[in-house]
Amino acid sequence: MNILKRVLFMLISIFFILSNLLFYTINFKEYVNFRIFQITSTLLVSEVFFWLMIFYTIRYFEIYKKRNKKRDIFIVEVLFLVGLIGLGVGRILMQSSPYLNDLILSNIKLLNSIGWARVTFLFASIMFFCYSINIRNSWLIIISILNFFNAVIVWLDFDTVPSTLIRVGVGALSIGYLFFVRKSVTEDEDNEEEKDDSNDDEYYEIEYSDIKRIEEK
């Protein structure tokens, strides 16, 4: 990965941190509903870009060694992003307008939808933790643990100061992850190199036998 991409991804992490710090101020300042809508919408956008960046770098740096596990990685990513977006939309609706908040609380279907989004995000966070353990990257493991605690707090309906500070910590750790992580050689790449070497050996053996046959003639 070139320096430009690393800098771009670090800027995404900083954007994620600043969006969470801005959301943090909602707990201590009185904002008009439209301003809260802007803050929560910005937070959702930053979260989506942040986790897309994390999943991209995992695929670039730390791909699973076995090809048959790539489908599992895709499932984790899809569930995680679906839960994240559902969680963010619910946060926007419930915090940016008292009217919408009362409407959701009085409608069982809407309330269940938000609840299922939180459960999906919690389940995907557990899968992401197992995913990180298999990759064996210490930065990623710590990020996944903090994200799991964030998912639990949000699931318990405490998406306030504690969850915001945890997300800020995740953003800070991601900068270290982007700075120190290096691309690893996968088993597939090793196998391809071995195949290339074996093909070269076969070529030289064939070429040597042809030369020997010509000399005998």
**Total-model pTM:** 0.78
The one-letter amino acid at 213: R
Number of H helices, E strands in the chain: 8, 0
Kindly report, residue by residue over 111-161, the tens digit of the pLDDT: 888 889 999 999 999 999 988 888 788 899 999 999 999 999 999 888 888
pLDDT band at 191 (very low <50, low <70, confident <90, very high): very low
Q: What is the CA radius of gyration of the chain?
A: 24
Instruction: Give the chain's mean pLDDT.
Output: 81
The one-letter amino acid at 6: R
The one-letter amino acid at 148: F
Q: Is the dihedral of CA 151, 166, 177, 89 positive or negative?
A: positive
What lies within 8 Å, CB to CB, of 165 at 6+ separation is 24
**pLDDT higher than 60, residue 184:** no
